[in-house]
Every structure is written in structure tokens, then in C-alpha cells.
A and B are shown apart, each in its own frame.
Chain A
């Protein structure tokens, strides 16, 4: 086993890794996001579009009253009758309407669309519109069983129910040394990408008739394409989706841009003019998807050493008003619920339930941070119940290669999770901070310090057979000048896709990075490499980039021997000289790694082709006067296969950790009648630079042979551990047995 710890915190990496391709453009303010673009070219004569939204959480629309004092003939108005195809947003179940069809299911649901060329007049006009809704009883608390008059789906409002079963928990409970139980809750979280949602649409002439073109901020161009095809009743030759520079996503631009794209397209089709829709922060926060709130119950049988004998876990997610992505968020949630531990008897039951909140959707981690929060708090509470050290309870249970997860997936790959844990403790100066904190707490009148840990795992790529169903494709174009162009739908949204794809392609081709181009995702130019989600881009799509280059190199080589470097470049230019005007491409389609099998009916088998592993340590200080928690130091250890770009990878981890610190301590949703009350950055509190310490990042490198450049996923893993580590540290500091986040001072005070 090769173990290499790379401490990005203290070592200056030499030589410098490849720099972010569009970095200087972003730093200098030259990068043009959609709202920055002048209304020229395709946007000449552009109208602004806005959305009329529901004022209440549930009810039947009686009428829409367009306000007096406006010449409505100068506005373009779109209502459901203007939708050419089904009034459905294409996703897992297509149950979310594009515009509310006579009833509303959540506050701020889109009811109608209005466009005008004068943005200020449009704002006033939209404000004048009154949607009259006859209220029906909404479901506002996912933890409480609905009354009969609150049922809106099936007989019980259930969106999805899933189960994982291994061994026999009930027999194990009967023979347990001790049984530890606990109930854990996590709140909603808003993504707060700094660029709000933005989408434009216009009509072009095409070979088969007019083409609806949509360009905007998004993670998944082909999700948007499928939504347009479905609701506009057009084939892929008559809809085209292009990604604009995207200022952050975190899952928030996974599925919701499909809705905004449809809105922009419908307005543009009715107006026969280009339309831009730019959300402001309050609209973006109130109306778009969030992280699922969760309630997780653990019942665990242990022996006297803390060894897990049986884990019974119940997971309930608030799905919000429509199905959207909840079934797959639940799936990932329950698969991660038992943590990175081995246990012979596991029963996990999960359900996602419908409520009349904004639909909850994708957010970095996708259900795993919620269940891992519960698991890792519970591990500490097991240690406390047995009078054991929380580190030892983890050591005795951590998965070793050859052991199986809750879905009976046999773990392999050669990562030593015990070594990972030891290295995390060393880098974080765990023992020193622990002893110093305990001494400090004996003397200080009102400050209390403590240290906490979490050990985590994160399945990279789509769950189960998801990658097989996606059947992702990547092409590489070989240009007449010998350069190679990566053609994939995977988007750059800040995480570094363009830079990393360039590096992976250059390494595979034996090229200089200057001779590699990455195509802007455009459904007329790039094949469907799948959505830019699930920490899959470098690992899964990066591998396809390598294989597409191999395909090209073999096509041009002799007797199946691939060409590389200058000979490949020469062969490409020679081919074009012989075949003027023709296209030369290498292609690759996803094939699963050997022996990866998952039974998605019974949830047995290889839930993921591989897992990324991690551990983190939080050192905190609690002010007993204010109940405010401050993170003094934080260490994140990640096993992500091979690190392709240390600066970018470190940035993913540090950003993920800080986002998780916000989720753990300050980012609290306030609801009123099912709508977000604090939909502004004034009172939805994300961390500033002064709220967080430097984040120590350590990478464990163990190349994964089926990942691009040897990489495993990195994007989501950093979100999994910080919240439980921080609450474990608060428990160490104060004894407070907090089991819900965000742990704001208001929530901590009663526990002190």
C-alpha cells in the first residue's frame, strides 16, 4: 500500500500546479456572467422577465388580477395555457409544474411570467399583480403525521421509502451489553452561490425550423435540455442549451435552472424576442431549492469495548412540495447513515415526505451530511455512555479492507483508515489541544474549550447503477492545428472543471496544456457527459476524457498502438491535410469498473464504485455568557485518490468545511407560513473570513485506477464531517449534549 500524506497547509508545493485557466479573468473582473452582458448580438432587443409567485403555501388559485395603472398590452404575459407541451418540469417524476396549474403547493411557487423591456417598470408591474388563492391546510412540519385534509400524495404524503437490511438487528439487541439511542436533527440550508440564478432565451433559425436557445447559469445542461424538450414538445434539434459562466452552484443550480430556463423560453417564444431573467437575492433565497431538513433516530447495540453489534437507523427527510430529487437524496442519505464502520447487523429505514415548503433539492453531500451528522454525534454519545474515548470507539469499528458496509459492499482499495485517523490526530495536534483545553477550562471564568472528531466516507459518482443508467459520453475533437478539444457537458462553476480537464487531457495525450481546449458546454456541440454533480466530474468524466483521447490516439496509430505527444499532433495535422473540412474525434462511453454490482431493489451490493474517506478535528471555544461557539482550529484529512491540482483540491476542501461550519452554527432558516422569512444575507448568516480559522488540509494519496488521473471525488466529502466534529467539540468543552443544528446561541443556551 502506498501512503503519501500531503499537507497542503504548511508545505509550499513546488513546482506550482497548473493555474486556474479563467483565474485572472475572474480576479480582474473581466469574466462576463449573464447579468454583465450587454444587450447586443443574440440579446439585441432583449426583454427582462420576472415571475409572479404564490402568496401562500397551499390552495386553489381563484384568479390573477393584473394591477391597474399599467398598459398591459405593452407587456408579455405567460400563463400555463401558453405551455406547448405538458406543464411539467422533467425530472424523476415530472410532478412539478412549470407554472402552477390552478393550485399552488408552496409559498413563492411560480404562477405566471411577465416581460418588458423597461426593467424598472416591470418590477413595479409585477408588484401590482395579485394572486387570489383559496387557502387549504398546508403541511408545515415533516416530523408530524398529516391529517386527512393535508394529504396531497398517495394516502400518506410519502415521496419515497427505502430500506437497507443486513443481518438481524433484533437478535443483536437481545444480547447487547448496552443499547444507546439518540435523535438528531438538521435544518435546511441555502446554497448562497454569490451569483444569483440567471437565464436568457432567444429564437434562432435552424435546419428543422426555429430553435429555442437557452443560455445561463447552470450545472447540468442536459437536465435543462430534457426539461425544454418535454414541456416545449420539441426534439433536440430545435432546443439548444449553452452554459454561461456560472458563479457557484453547490447543487443549487442542479435542477432549478430547468425551471428558469423554461420560464425564459416561454417568454421568448411568446414575445419572439430575447428574454433575460435575473433573480435578485431575496427571490433566489425564497423560491429556489435548499438542503433537505432531516430527523434521524439511532438505536445501537454495543459491547463493553464500544464495538457496534447492531445499528438500527430511521431517516426522515423533508422533501418539500414536489418530488424533484428527494428519492435519490434519500438513497444517498441512507447508504451513508451507518458511517465508515463495520457492523454485522444493520437496519436502515428511510423516508422522504411531502410538505408545503419550497422543494428541497441537491446540496453538496446530497443527504449524506445529514445522516453522517447523526452517526458521528451518536458515536461520541456511545463513547460517553460507555465511559470510553471517542477515538477508541471509532478505531475499533472503522472499516478495514475486506469488511462490508451496510449494503454488504466489500471494501477494497488499500486505504488504511486507521493510518488516516492517526495522521489526522497528529496534524491537528489533537492530544495537545485536548489537554490544554481541559487545563484552560479549569481556570477560565467563562470560556470553555473542547475538541471533537468525525470520521467519514463519501461515495463518489452516482449511487448504485446510476452511472450505468447515465451512460455518459465524452468526445475529444482533434483540430486541424493539432490541438485537442475536450467536448463534454460537465460545467465549470468555480470548482475547476476546465483546469483539471485540461491537465488530464494533456497528460493523457502527452501534450502541453496550452494545446488543449475545453469546449463551453453547448448541447449542439458536446455529448451528454452527465450532470455536474455527485463529486463525479474528475473521477468519472475525467476518466472518459482519458479514454476518448486513447480512442483518438489508437485511431491514428498503427496496429492499435496509440500515438502520444508530438507524433499524435503530427498525425492529427496530417489527417486533416488528407481529409479537408472533415471532423476527427475520439470517443468514450462509460463502462463500470469490473465487478461493481448493485441490486437497487433490495439495496444490496456495491452502492458506489469507490468511496472517498476522511477524518476531521474541530477545536472550539464556547462563551458561556453568550453561548456563542467559535471554531479555533480545524483539520480536514481527505483520501481522494490522486490529487490532480493541489491548489484547487485544497480550495474545495476549505470551502466545503467553511460551508459546513455555517450549516452547523449559524445558517438558520426562519419560516412563516411555510415561506422563508429570512431570505436575505442580513439575517441568513453565512461565515465571514473573521468567523473561521485557517483550515488545515491534508490529502492522503492512494490513486484509484478507475478515476480520471487516479482521482476520486473531492467536492462533497468536506461537507460531511465538520458539523458533528464541532458539536462533539462543544460537548467536550461544556458537556452540552446538543443533537440538532444549527447550534445557534439560542439553541445552545438552554443546554449549558
Chain B
């Protein structure tokens, strides 16, 4: 709801109730390879659970409405905007966040200039890592199309695309 007195504020987020206000749901899920058991309010967002309750603030909130991708996590092997996922929905799921990716593997992204301010970067890296793990999708889609769910305002995307190509090990195509 942000600054909800204004009629022109269109981005009314779902209220995030205090613990116990609406009753909670007890759930278990796998987070970065470990079992997690937690009681959640039905309206609690996965992004907030990760950031503020499970001490995993690597996933960022850029827009809170599933446009920017800064909060991208992997749920059962598919990228998802964690700001749009009520936490209870990941009951029994396998959730992976930016914190599951070893920093040592990210050297190609560093060398290409894939990060500048860094605020979109964790989401970018999670999506890029997913593409790397599913490189078969590149047969039918370009990297640029696959990365289009992650907005970056600093790099103009070349540093990200070049880094991903180097990370996956495919030569850069289509350009002299």
C-alpha cells in the first residue's frame, strides 16, 4: 500500500499482517538444500520470508509487482518472482536463492561487467544460472529473450549477455 493516502498510488501491495493476526500456516520446504519448517501468515510474500525472517537478503525488492525480477528465485527448477509468491505456496517445494550459487563460479560475469550498482544483479544471476543449467532452451530462445524478465538500469544488458555467454562457454554470435 505504500503511501496509500494518494488516490494515484496504483501499486497497492497486499498488506503484510503481523504474526498471528489472521492465523498462520505451518509449512516445510527445502531452501538451498536444507529443510525449513516455518509458520507463515497466508498473505506473507516469499521475498519477505527470505529477506526478513530467514536471513537471506540477497534477493532484492525492486518493484514489488513482478516486473523487475530483482527478487528472482528458483522454485522447483523454474525461475519465479518471489515478490508475487505467497510463502505458503512453496510448501513441499525446492527453493533456491542467489545464496545457493557459489561466488567462485561468477568470475565470467565479473569480467564482462555484468554488475554495476548491483541491485538487480542477484536476480540477474539467478536467471542466468538457470539458463546455464538449462542451456537447451537456447535452441529455441535467445539469451536476450530469456533474460527479459530481469530489468537492469545500469549495464544496457551487454555486460550481462556477454558474461552469460562466457559463463556457459558459447561463443558470441551474430556480430563481426
A binds B: yes
Chain A residue at minimum C-beta to C-beta distance from B55? A38
**With contacts A9-B175, A19-B111, A36-B57 known, is A282 near B10, CB below 8 A?**
yes
Chain A residue at minimum C-beta to C-beta distance from B157? A689
Contact assessment for B153 and A193 in the assembled complex, using a CB-CB cutoff below 8 Å: yes
Bound form: Cα–Cα A680–B63 in Å: 7
**Does A73 count as interface, using CB distance less than 8 angstroms?**
no
Contact assessment for B158 and A679 in the assembled complex, using a CB-CB cutoff below 8 Å: no
**Does A648 count as interface, using CB distance less than 8 angstroms?**
yes
| CB neighbours of B18 from chain A (8 A) | 118, 120-121
Contact assessment for B3 and A283 in the assembled complex, using a CB-CB cutoff below 8 Å: yes
- Of A191, A196, A655, A692, which is in contact with the most chain B CB atoms at under 10 Å from its CB? A655
**With contacts A118-B18, A689-B144, A690-B148 known, is A129 near B5, CB below 8 A?**
yes
Bitwise interface map of A from 685 to 699 toward B, beta carbon under 8 Å scored 1, else 0: 010111110110000
Contact assessment for B6 and A53 in the assembled complex, using a CB-CB cutoff below 8 Å: yes
Contact assessment for A679 and B9 in the assembled complex, using a CB-CB cutoff below 8 Å: yes
- Identify B158's interface contact among A191, A279, A682, A695, CB under 8 A: A695
Chain B residue at minimum C-beta to C-beta distance from A685? B67
Bound form: Cα–Cα A693–B106 in Å: 24
**Does A30 count as interface, using CB distance less than 8 angstroms?**
yes
| CB neighbours of B13 from chain A (8 A) | 280
Bitwise interface map of A from 410 to 445 toward B, beta carbon under 8 Å scored 1, else 0: 000000000000000000000000000000000000
Bound form: Cα–Cα A31–B60 in Å: 11
The stretch that binds A, out of B23-31, B85-93, B96-104, is: B96-104
**Does B59 count as interface, using CB distance less than 8 angstroms?**
yes
| CB neighbours of A127 from chain B (8 A) | 1, 4-5
**Does B132 count as interface, using CB distance less than 8 angstroms?**
no
Contact assessment for A24 and B5 in the assembled complex, using a CB-CB cutoff below 8 Å: no
**Does A408 count as interface, using CB distance less than 8 angstroms?**
no
**With contacts A24-B103, A123-B1, A651-B116 known, is A108 near B6, CB below 8 A?**
yes
Contact assessment for A282 and B116 in the assembled complex, using a CB-CB cutoff below 8 Å: no
Chain B residue at minimum C-beta to C-beta distance from A678? B10
Contact assessment for B113 and A647 in the assembled complex, using a CB-CB cutoff below 8 Å: yes
**With contacts A27-B125, A655-B156 known, is A681 near B7, CB below 8 A?**
no
| CB neighbours of A26 from chain B (8 A) | 115, 117-118, 121
Chain B contact residues, majority secondary structure: loop
**Does B139 count as interface, using CB distance less than 8 angstroms?**
no
Q: Report the contact-size class of chain A (Cβ under 8 Å from the partner).
A: 35 or more
Separation in Å of the A73 CB from the closest CB of chain B?
A: 18
Separation in Å of the A633 CB from the closest CB of chain B?
A: 9
**Does A246 count as interface, using CB distance less than 8 angstroms?**
yes
**Does A705 count as interface, using CB distance less than 8 angstroms?**
no
Contact assessment for B153 and A686 in the assembled complex, using a CB-CB cutoff below 8 Å: yes
| CB neighbours of B135 from chain A (8 A) | none
**Does A124 count as interface, using CB distance less than 8 angstroms?**
yes
**Does B70 count as interface, using CB distance less than 8 angstroms?**
yes
Bound form: Cα–Cα A381–B151 in Å: 35
Bound form: Cα–Cα A651–B8 in Å: 35
| CB neighbours of B150 from chain A (8 A) | 689
Bitwise interface map of B from 106 to 135 toward A, beta carbon under 8 Å scored 1, else 0: 110111111111111110010000000000
Separation in Å of the A140 CB from the closest CB of chain B?
A: 14
**With contacts A647-B111, A657-B156, A689-B147 known, is A120 near B119, CB below 8 A?**
no
| CB neighbours of B97 from chain A (8 A) | 29
Contact assessment for B110 and A23 in the assembled complex, using a CB-CB cutoff below 8 Å: yes
Contact assessment for A655 and B155 in the assembled complex, using a CB-CB cutoff below 8 Å: yes
Bound form: Cα–Cα A129–B6 in Å: 10
Contact assessment for B67 and A680 in the assembled complex, using a CB-CB cutoff below 8 Å: yes
Bitwise interface map of B from 1 to 41 toward A, beta carbon under 8 Å scored 1, else 0: 11111111111010111100000000000000000000000
| CB neighbours of A196 from chain B (8 A) | 61-62
Separation in Å of the A572 CB from the closest CB of chain B?
A: 31
| CB neighbours of B65 from chain A (8 A) | 281, 680-682
Bound form: Cα–Cα A679–B148 in Å: 20
Bound form: Cα–Cα A676–B60 in Å: 24
Chain A residue at minimum C-beta to C-beta distance from B8? A675
Bound form: Cα–Cα A630–B51 in Å: 38
Bitwise interface map of B from 133 to 176 toward A, beta carbon under 8 Å scored 1, else 0: 00000000011110111111111111111000000000000011
- Residues in A671-719 with C-beta less than 8 Å from chain B: 672-673, 675-682, 686, 688-692, 694-695
Chain A contact residues, majority secondary structure: loop
Separation in Å of the B56 CB from the closest CB of chain A?
A: 8
**Does B80 count as interface, using CB distance less than 8 angstroms?**
no
| CB neighbours of B115 from chain A (8 A) | 20, 23, 26-27
Bound form: Cα–Cα A690–B10 in Å: 26
| CB neighbours of B142 from chain A (8 A) | 690
Separation in Å of the B73 CB from the closest CB of chain A?
A: 11
**Does A77 count as interface, using CB distance less than 8 angstroms?**
no
Bound form: Cα–Cα A19–B109 in Å: 11
Contact assessment for B60 and A55 in the assembled complex, using a CB-CB cutoff below 8 Å: no
The stretch that binds B, out of A493-501, A547-555, A580-588, is: A493-501
**With contacts A120-B15, A280-B11, A657-B156 known, is A681 near B67, CB below 8 A?**
yes
Contact assessment for A29 and B59 in the assembled complex, using a CB-CB cutoff below 8 Å: yes
Contact assessment for A247 and B51 in the assembled complex, using a CB-CB cutoff below 8 Å: no
Contact assessment for A120 and B111 in the assembled complex, using a CB-CB cutoff below 8 Å: no
Separation in Å of the A660 CB from the closest CB of chain B?
A: 10
Contact assessment for A29 and B58 in the assembled complex, using a CB-CB cutoff below 8 Å: yes
Contact assessment for A655 and B63 in the assembled complex, using a CB-CB cutoff below 8 Å: no
**With contacts A22-B118, A689-B144 known, is A123 near B4, CB below 8 A?**
yes
Contact assessment for A50 and B175 in the assembled complex, using a CB-CB cutoff below 8 Å: no
Contact assessment for A287 and B3 in the assembled complex, using a CB-CB cutoff below 8 Å: yes
**With contacts A29-B99, A493-B117, A494-B118 known, is A51 near B158, CB below 8 A?**
no
| CB neighbours of A36 from chain B (8 A) | 51, 57-58, 60
- Identify B11's interface contact among A282, A495, A656, CB under 8 A: A282
Contact assessment for A247 and B110 in the assembled complex, using a CB-CB cutoff below 8 Å: no
**With contacts A280-B11, A659-B153, A672-B8 known, is A53 near B118, CB below 8 A?**
no
Contact assessment for A24 and B151 in the assembled complex, using a CB-CB cutoff below 8 Å: no
- Identify A658's interface contact among B2, B3, B113, B156, CB under 8 A: B156
- Identify B62's interface contact among A27, A28, A194, A493, CB under 8 A: A194
Contact assessment for A27 and B106 in the assembled complex, using a CB-CB cutoff below 8 Å: yes
**With contacts A192-B153, A250-B153, A686-B151 known, is A27 near B109, CB below 8 A?**
yes
**Does A52 count as interface, using CB distance less than 8 angstroms?**
yes
**Does A248 count as interface, using CB distance less than 8 angstroms?**
yes
**Does B95 count as interface, using CB distance less than 8 angstroms?**
no
Contact assessment for B110 and A51 in the assembled complex, using a CB-CB cutoff below 8 Å: no
- Residues in A232-286 with C-beta less than 8 Å from chain B: 245-250, 279-283, 286
Contact assessment for B10 and A679 in the assembled complex, using a CB-CB cutoff below 8 Å: yes
Bound form: Cα–Cα A37–B175 in Å: 43
**Known contacts A28-B99, A28-B101; can you find 10 more A-B pairs with CB under 8 A?**
A20-B110, A27-B114, A29-B57, A35-B61, A36-B57, A282-B10, A655-B155, A680-B67, A689-B161, A694-B158
> What are 8 contact pairs spanning A and B, CB under 8 A?
A27-B110, A121-B18, A191-B153, A286-B9, A495-B116, A651-B159, A658-B157, A694-B175
